[in-house]
Amino acid sequence: MKNNFCTIYIARHGQTEWNAKGKIQGHTDSPLTKEGVAQAKNLAHELKDIKFDAAYSSDLLRAKKTAEIVALHHQLIVQTKETLRERNFGPLEGQNKDGLVLLEQLRDQKIPYETKNIESDEKMIERVILFLRELAIAYPGKTVLVVSHGGILRTLLVHLGFVTFEKINKLSVGNTSYIKIESDGVDFFIKETKRIEMQQEI
């Protein structure tokens, strides 16, 4: 890693009650389950030897709680940012099977999400990339923890060329999965992924 590159670990939060029920969350919050808390503690153990210089999370409680569990070992205060929130799913938030089917149909047919008052990929990735660029410039040569959401990780992986848009529905992004990237504020390089897998075709 070049000295001016910032290393960023971007993780998904632990399991929530709505995750367990298969409900669409978006900006609506749902608390971590006992399993979600255990996952966050496991992530903290997994990253215990990483020297983090700062910790950030989405301002949604599921991400903030996960980040606090990981940051506790490093004696860091978690700074929350609205720009790290999950996609705004609008009227679909709280829905389960029917809402998920509609989302897949919209994506497969490449119908703009805005037609259903859902935040677009473009708007979501724009706010996330802007934050990551600012982070990289603010912490050159440092390592930063960021806890966000599954939709953020998926869209970021498409944006960075890890997976194509056409295959995004086959990408499994588990709770507390993470991406390790390096950036100088201009370019981004994926160095590692954890608990992110392409599902096999049946």
Q: pLDDT tens digits, residue range 46-59?
A: 999 999 999 999 99
> Is residue 159 annotated as a catalytic residue, yes or no?
no
What is the residue whose two structure tokens read 């409680």? 61
* List of domains in the chain: 6-198 (3.40.50.1240)
pLDDT of residue 150: 95
The DSSP bridge partners found for residue 9 are 145, 180
User: What torsion do the CA atoms of 128, 134, 135, 140 make, to the nearest 10 degrees?
Assistant: 140
Q: Which of 27, 35, 68, 86 is catalytic?
A: 86
Q: pLDDT tens digits, residue range 129-183?
A: 999 999 999 999 999 999 999 999 999 999 999 998 878 778 889 999 999 999 9
Q: pLDDT tens digits, residue range 62-111?
A: 999 999 999 998 999 999 999 999 999 999 999 987 888 888 888 777 66
Q: Which of 13, 68, 119, 149 is catalytic?
A: 13
pTM for the predicted model, two decimal places: 0.93
Burial class (CB in 10 A: 0-12, 13-18, 19+), 74: middle
Cβ(159)–Cβ(133) below 8 Å: no
pLDDT of residue 202: 46
CA distances to 74, 112, 131, 147, 184 from 138, in Å: 19, 34, 10, 18, 10
Cβ(25)–Cβ(16) below 8 Å: yes
> Is residue 13 annotated as a catalytic residue, yes or no?
yes
Identify the residue with better confidence: 201 or 44: 44
